[in-house]
Amino acid sequence: MTEPGDARESEATATAPTPRGLPAEVARRRTFAVISHPDAGKSTLTEALALHARMISEAGAIHGKAGRKSTVSDWMEMEKARGISVSSTALQFNYRAAGSDVDSVINLVDTPGHSDFSEDTYRVLTAVDAAVMLIDAAKGLEPQTLKLFQVCRHRGIPVITVINKWDRPGQAPLELLDEISERIGLTPTPLFLPVGIAGDFRGLLRRGPEGVAEEYIHFTRTAGGATIAPEESLTPEQAEAREGEAWVTAAEESELLSATGQDHDQELFLAGQTSPVIYASAMLNFGVRQLLETLVALAPAPGARVDVAGRPRETGDPFSAVVFKVQAGMDTAHRDRLAFMRIVSGEFERGMVVTHAQTGRPFATKYALTVFGRERSTVDTAYPGDVVGLVNATALAPGHTLFVDRKVEFPPIPSFAPEHFATLRAQSAGKYKQFRKAIDQLDSEGVVQVLRNDARGDASPVLAAVGPMQFEVVTARMQAEFNVETQLDFLPYTLARRTDAESAPELDRQRGVEVFTRTDGAVLALFSDKWRLQYIEKEHPDLTLEPLVATAD
Ligand code: G4P
């Protein structure tokens, strides 16, 4: 296996792929997402990756910071006003790893920047084979990183850790690693250690087997970090002569880590027990090439996915794909609806007629796109691991399966535990019909969860969200797409538990509790707070009260 970053020459190419057969196409793909707390530097890193892949010639083009050219999706006014990206899309690029004669195809599946859209982020994580956990060196682990990491663990997704912003003063390198192992129970195994303390980032020490310092990669800053930082490779002896104490410290740290068993082990990494670590500065483009090399060398290629019957659909089987995200209204001029699917098996060719597993109906794929920011391009061929957007795919919802030949249906994407609840009603009774239609539509897209019970009736259903900004999306789309003014009233509930028909009547009699049925048939009990829940659990141990998919706890 190629050691990440061990050769000097690497480059990104934009050549069209030559026909090489499905197994080779699968083997050269890497599909991943970046998980991070807002402001850790996800947009900056995405841009740095695009820069290294020569998709852009200067950083500052994608994430649309003030005064820079913006090419990011400005989905809805809300997105513009808040400077966040609501839409999840995928960036695909080729990258020729050091010493390789094959271009790898990297699919970076974007996740919403705002934590209120974490439900979308969780869904995105069902479509990737690996995650990059991006941590702000000064801030360490933050709540959103922790939650997202739990989802990765739950799904068995291997995690590569990038400790970002090393160009700024912050903690000691090993302190951060201790935090990772103590707070999330993942053993960090650095592949590269920083040379120079936080705030004085000179380069990276590449760790070989048993923590031996194998190479020093010295970086040179470029103006504003706008272009790739030139790298110089030095031997350990040269490094010590050049950097003195800073090098010696890094080499000692590397040995210390080995003494505690913190060396990379591919099996443990794939099993989700260890995480390779890279120190970086996305802003200065330090460590970005090393991340790409690591993804190519260590992250898994797309593999089989198990269907509802527990049978694996191998990548070499006939075409199948799973929808993980539906996005409407991205293009204000067209108001279209895009369903994003991740290809699981077989080759996708635009125009092929596939079957929609949930309805058994045929589905034509004439309009297949890749989308990143405002950039859309037609996809003619795609392979397992790739993400393809289907235009105006009204029947498709997150979790749905598409296939050809042998039928397959993948398990549904779990609904994540909502923590915010509100009722919604049309302001004018005359709009009730449109209101119902809109609710059904937004529900099927997974924008929010919709809960109903007999007492409240259908005129003002209860919306349940993981983050309150999901409500804003609902009310904004109600108005813009369906021309319905709505009234949103928050409910005093903060947590939900799954229950059943037998337990429902007793729960309904309790103060501070209300029982609902979700559209997928699940019976949910909402509680005002955790003390009420604990009290009821204690008083009525026979009642069914199960946590929903654990994300935060
Ligand atoms: P996000 O997508 O994860 O929310 O983070 P984003 O990339 O927008 O970065 C958040 C802030 O952190 C930005 O500063 C960005 O420039 C800065 N940043 C990202 N990576 C690095 C890094 O490696 N080193 C340093 N020093 N800063 C970094 P800002 O003040 O919000 O914007 P700007 O004025 O810098 O453009």
CA of 448 to the centre of ligand 1 (A): 30
In a mutational test of the pocket of ligand 1, which residue from 63, 132, 283, 290 has the highest number of ligand atoms less than 8 Å from its CB? Answer: 283
CA of 255 to the centre of ligand 1 (A): 32
Q: What is the mean pLDDT of residues 134-144?
A: 91
Is residue 71 predicted with pLDDT exceeding 80? Answer: no
CA 282 to centroid of ligand 1, rounded, Å: 8
Is the pLDDT reported for residue 73 higher than 60? Answer: no
d(CA 423, CA 474): 12
- Whole-number percent of the chain with pLDDT over 70: 86
> Could you write out the three-class secondary structure of 166-229?
CCCCCCCHHHHHHHHHHHHCCEEEECEEEECCCCCCCEEEEECHHHCEEEEEEECCCHHHCCCC
Q: Which atom of ligand 1 is nearest to the CA of 36?
A: 3
Choice between 151 and 423, residue whose per-residue pLDDT is larger:
423
The label of the residue with tokens 């538990």 reads: 497
Whether 551 lines ligand 1, by a CB cut-off of 6 Å, is: no
pLDDT tens across 369-415, in order? 776 655 667 888 999 999 998 887 778 888 999 999 999 999 988 77
Looking at the predicted structure, is the pLDDT value of residue 66 above 50?
no
* Interval 201-214: pLDDT, tens: 999 999 998 899 99
In whole numbers, what is the pLDDT of the chain averaged over residues? 86
Pocket probe for ligand 1: among 35, 36, 37, 39, the residue whose CB has the most ligand atoms within 8 Å is 39
Atom of ligand 1 nearest to the CA of 164: 23
User: Which of the four pLDDT bands, split at 50, 70 and 90, describes residue 447?
Assistant: confident
Higher pLDDT, 366 or 552: 366
Contact 282, 44 (CB under 8 A): yes
The Cα-based distances of 191 to 6, 170, 207, 301, 383 in angstroms read 11, 20, 5, 20, 30
**Nearest in space to 62 (alpha carbons), one of 72, 49, 52, 73:** 72
Q: Is 342 in the pocket of ligand 1 (CB under 6 A)?
A: no
Question: Which residue has better confidence, 410 or 47?
Answer: 410
The closest residue, in CA terms, to atom 31 on ligand 1 is: 39
Answer yes or no: is the C-beta of 42 below 6 A from any ligand 1 atom.
yes
Q: What is the pLDDT of residue 123?
A: 85
With a cut of 90, say whether residue 9 has pLDDT above it.
no
At how many degrees (to 10) do helices 432-445 and 469-482 cross?
130
Could you tell me which residues are annotated as the binding site for GTP?
Answer: 110-114
Greatest CA separation found in the chain?
A: 80
User: Which residue owns the Cα nearest ligand 1 atom 4?
Assistant: 39
Residue 10 has pLDDT above 50, yes or no: no
Q: Which of 28-32, 246-250, 305-309, 390-394 has the lowest mean pLDDT?
A: 390-394
pLDDT band at residue 446, thresholds of 50, 70 and 90? confident
The number of residues making up the chain comes to 553
Between 415 and 98, the more confident residue is: 98
Q: How far is the CA of 39 from the centre of ligand 1 (A)?
A: 6
Write down the pLDDT at residue 425: 94
Q: Alpha-carbon distance 335 to 307, whole Å?
A: 33
**98-102, 455-459, 514-518, 547-551: which is most confident:** 514-518
What pLDDT, on a 0 to 100 scale, did the predictor assign at position 2? 42
pLDDT at 318: 97
**164 close to ligand 1 (CB < 6 Angstrom):** yes
What's the CA-to-centroid distance between 457 and ligand 1, angstroms?
A: 47
